[in-house]
Structure 1
């Protein structure tokens, strides 16, 4: 059996959540709460595996993307139009916020190497570096050459990930303190960070992207075992990197996180003076790869909802990409501190997750769509619990922000 059968879009799913958001939010979690929020990452990893498997199974059985299946399955009427609007709003706005975090994260890394002054236009402040990174992502997408470039940038992200894992092992944290971090504790001071950790791991647009890519990669029902292997291994490895970042940050010297230099402090024990440059290239690569993926996934959702062509060169795909990327550029140029913007983008993802995951749970239980491959009772219980937990946490974070 060819080993290539076991490798699908799983690594892309993992790479999408090992972006600037993950590095920033996990560092903030480690600096502010030590090992205390490792349980939130463990929950996120389980939730990601369960929901991504469901989305991938939908893609295999229907041979369509999740957005197309939702659009086709819902009957004509108010519920159909409301649902399509909700999915599109959540993905487009969520991806625009995520895109702003990706662009800002890439700029955060690049600022350690180069420095561009901000451009003031009336009352607006335009960050030149953000604009350049957004332009690079746009050109790569429009020219269709992003796949080759992404491969090289992904290598840099993998090297950054390995540095965090190696550093976490070298630090040798005490097992007692480490295990204590897997005991859930929620309060007013850590709720936003918990939701951000969930939002940076269980990325809503990944659910839609994964189902589309699976339908292109695998065709036979017997391929389901390969899909599950690909998903579980990729998500667990990605989650391990996230935990390594928390451990590194908790054991580091940073007292606050405002820049990429602060993010790099935890790696100084391993890399010395080179830590700053290593982090700069890693963050930049993570920012650009994610800045390519987010608008592409958002455009697939928009086109899928309306039954338009999902060819990247089609007018509908290009218009959607330009809109999401442009909105992300606007968000990233509002003068908000990059670290704050990145964190809030992950919080937005965490809030949107229960709204979108309910559609997956509904479709994956419809026999007319899934035939004999509907969820088992055990999977429904696990999926239902995940949905309930994310709904409660998301609602609590909204309440804390508003009141």
Structure 2
């Protein structure tokens, strides 16, 4: 159902700028913006660059299947709310055997994973801003630690103030801006360098490179693309948007568009890294390595655009990662979107302080980001299992024809277990 305020007014739509039209389009699919924000951050950018640099397009199949599973799980979690009026963790606590213990386990696992991601995101984002500044003010390079730390405090402080003063509508608008900048930046950079079509086709054939670290990287891939937080928060954001059963088709389209955008943007990043870096033997260990490695192939202008996309990816993920723990607690307790309570302000404040870990202690943001994304995959099988159980509840008023979604969710569950096992095997 279209949420427009009646018939067209007397002002011709041609007067709208391209930016206004893009923003209106993105806001029409509001909750999907949060799905992209949770999914494509600096962790995703880092994982895709390292994968493209190390394996070319060989891991495209992981991204492909992850996006299919993600789209279906976004659809299922949103549809479950529209049909039953129950949010995810509230339903888990209410209907599953040992539901309270399972819900608490999910809150702990997803919360730790997302806060770890937030730490890595702020580390890379502050370093990206620093490197952009150094291009114009070379003298800052001698004070890297303090400048990066100051930038990190400034960024997280601004986002925290927006969180405690804002509303769902504001969060949606800010995310729409960053997501559009991110998508346009990465797709534009792809125009400068593109892998061979044969490499793309081969990349869709499932295979795990027999080299050290491949399992961890694949786990990081899945941890950032199939983010459990995306599915858990979906009903709450639909609630915040005010959608009802009349918006079922809009919810479905929103799920499809979110999955397509995730695949397009993430695939573009991998393709840029593959086309410009693969086979050159360059190691990506710092944020600056990304710039230096890409510049000979795509030029300074394209690198600047790519960095703008990376910055937008980081900024678009800070909001959702800061919010996830108080959102899950509100979901568990009452099944309501909580963005105004004292608990929300206190917990997001704690998360903001923890987010400063990388710049405070001077950790390598690239290595830290990949590690934090691996951690996200631990909660994934449990969350998929819970949605599979809820989607098949009897007498819940759910759609009669659920065969396709059930097959895909079983596939997602098996896929998540395999990826988790491979990641653990590489770690140990």
TM over 0.5: yes
Residue 360 of structure 1 deviates from its aligned partner by 1.1
Listed one character per residue, the Cα deviations across residues 242-264 of structure 1 (whole Å, up to 9, x for unaligned) are 11111100111471223333334
Are 1:36 and 1:182, in contact at CA under 8 Å, matched by a contact in 2? yes
Name the counterpart of 1:71.
93
Are 1:157 and 1:286, in contact at CA under 8 Å, matched by a contact in 2? yes
Residue 353 of structure 1 deviates from its aligned partner by 1.1
- TM-score norm. by structure 2 comes to 0.82
Q: In 2, distance between residues paired with 1:71 and 1:236?
A: 32
Secondary structure of the structure 1 residue equivalent to 2:132: coil
Would the alpha carbon gap of residues 354 and 330 (structure 1) be closer, same or farther in structure 2, given more than 3 Å must change? same
Name the counterpart of 1:351.
378
Name the counterpart of 2:316.
289
Name the counterpart of 2:353.
326
Residue 74 of structure 1 deviates from its aligned partner by 4.0
Secondary structure of the structure 2 residue equivalent to 1:252: helix
Secondary structure of the structure 2 residue equivalent to 1:171: coil
Are 1:332 and 1:341, in contact at CA under 8 Å, matched by a contact in 2? no
Residue 153 of structure 1 deviates from its aligned partner by 6.5
Residue 229 of structure 1 deviates from its aligned partner by 0.9
Q: In 2, distance between residues paired with 1:7 and 1:34?
A: 33
Name the counterpart of 1:12.
34
Unaligned runs of 5+ in 2: 5-26, 134-139
Name the counterpart of 2:66.
44
Are 1:51 and 1:383, in contact at CA under 8 Å, matched by a contact in 2? yes
Name the counterpart of 1:2.
2
Would the alpha carbon gap of residues 311 and 383 (structure 1) be closer, same or farther in structure 2, given more than 3 Å must change? closer
Residue 154 of structure 1 deviates from its aligned partner by 4.5
Name the counterpart of 2:410.
384
Name the counterpart of 1:123.
none
2:238 paired with 1:214: yes
Q: In 1, distance between residues paired with 2:66 and 2:359?
A: 26
Are 2:189 and 2:302, in contact at CA under 8 Å, matched by a contact in 1? no
2:213 paired with 1:194: no
Would the alpha carbon gap of residues 374 and 329 (structure 1) be closer, same or farther in structure 2, given more than 3 Å must change? farther
Name the counterpart of 2:160.
138
Would the alpha carbon gap of residues 156 and 222 (structure 1) be closer, same or farther in structure 2, given more than 3 Å must change? closer
Would the alpha carbon gap of residues 397 and 149 (structure 1) be closer, same or farther in structure 2, given more than 3 Å must change? closer
Q: 2:113 aligns with which of 87, 90, 94?
A: 94
Aligned residue pairs total 392
Listed one character per residue, the Cα deviations across residues 181-201 of structure 1 (whole Å, up to 9, x for unaligned) are 111112453111111111111
Would the alpha carbon gap of residues 6 and 128 (structure 1) be closer, same or farther in structure 2, given more than 3 Å must change? closer
Would the alpha carbon gap of residues 80 and 157 (structure 1) be closer, same or farther in structure 2, given more than 3 Å must change? closer
Are 1:208 and 1:297, in contact at CA under 8 Å, matched by a contact in 2? no
Secondary structure of the structure 2 residue equivalent to 1:112: helix
Name the counterpart of 1:225.
249
Name the counterpart of 2:131.
112
Q: In 2, distance between residues paired with 1:314 and 1:205?
A: 20
2:99 paired with 1:55: no
Q: In 1, distance between residues paired with 2:347 and 2:170?
A: 22
Unaligned runs of 5+ in 1: 120-125
Listed one character per residue, the Cα deviations across residues 195-251 of structure 1 (whole Å, up to 9, x for unaligned) are 111111111111122111123435443432221111101211221111111110011
Correspondences of 1:117-266 after superposition (within 5 Å)? 117-118=144-145, 127-144=149-166, 148=170, 151=173, 154-186=176-208, 187=210, 189=212, 190-217=214-241, 219-253=243-277, 255-264=282-291
Q: In 2, distance between residues paired with 1:110 and 1:167?
A: 19
Name the counterpart of 1:301.
328
Are 1:19 and 1:286, in contact at CA under 8 Å, matched by a contact in 2? yes
Correspondences of 1:74-85 after superposition (within 5 Å)? 74=96, 79-85=98-104
Residue 150 of structure 1 deviates from its aligned partner by 6.7
Q: In 2, distance between residues paired with 1:152 and 1:307?
A: 27
Are 2:90 and 2:335, in contact at CA under 8 Å, matched by a contact in 1? no
Q: In 1, distance between residues paired with 2:64 and 2:401?
A: 23
Are 2:187 and 2:268, in contact at CA under 8 Å, matched by a contact in 1? yes
Residue 73 of structure 1 deviates from its aligned partner by 2.5
